Amino acid sequence: MVKTFLILVICYMFLYSNEQIILVTSDSINTNKATLSCFENGKKVFNDIKVNLGKNGLGIGIGHLELKHQKDEVIKVEGDKKAPIGIFRLTSVFGYADSEDTHMPYIKATKNLICVDDSDSIYYNQIINMPKQKPKSYELMRRDDNQYEIGIVVEHNKQQVAQAGSCIFFHVQKDEDPPTAGCTSMSLQNIKKIVKWLDIKKNPILIQVPKKYLGEVKKMYPELPLD
């Protein structure tokens, strides 16, 4: 009994040690539009931001905490153009500039920097410099457009499960209102504001869900003002 109690206490402390939470909510699992809210210590820090999701909506992803979901819910797979549902760590910021005004680890996107989406590669779902033996499929992190001018790495599928989805980011939207290939996009102005606010010491996480999951989110994070 004492052991069980201690485990529950430790789990509770782990869950609520997150001081910065980005909550992205959509009306349904099939939409490619959502609302982003930022919280610190249970208080909203910015006005809500309209964001774009995957062209084909959302699918259940692999995060660091599991959300209860129905067994018949669509699971995210590589190339499905769905943004992941789940709870994910935010691990670093990347961009074209030499540095950024942020308290997150920063990765400069050079011409040799790639994110590997080839499931057969040992580098699957990793951001690396181009190896001697090129993967069959990869994304350039320094693009010819401004979509990766600045972005945030979402730790989805850390275990590199084959075909479970890779290279998930917050990034700059292509145009004013377009869906993505599976990431979450917004205006340059808004992503810069978030990047400046984020602090790796405050354990930032992303909770990305359709509204029907908010009851479960509230159980896990009762300090969030979701009512």
The predicted pLDDT at position 67 comes to: 87
Task: Determine the pLDDT at residue 18.
Answer: 61
Backbone angles phi, psi at 188, to 5 degrees: -60, -40
3-state secondary structure 65-119: ECCCCCCCCCECCCCCCCEEEEEEEEEEEEECCCCCCCECCEEECCCCEEEECCC
Whether 29 contacts 57, CB under 8 Å: yes
Tokens 């693009």, located at residue: 143
Whole-number pLDDT of residue 17: 53
> CATH number for the 2-220 domain, one of 3.40.50.2300, 2.40.440.10, 3.30.300.130, 3.30.590.20?
2.40.440.10
Instruction: Quote the pTM value.
Output: 0.91
Consecutive sets of 10 residues in the chain, 227 residues long: mean pLDDT of each?
A: 44 59 97 98 95 97 88 92 98 97 98 97 98 96 96 98 98 91 97 98 97 94 88
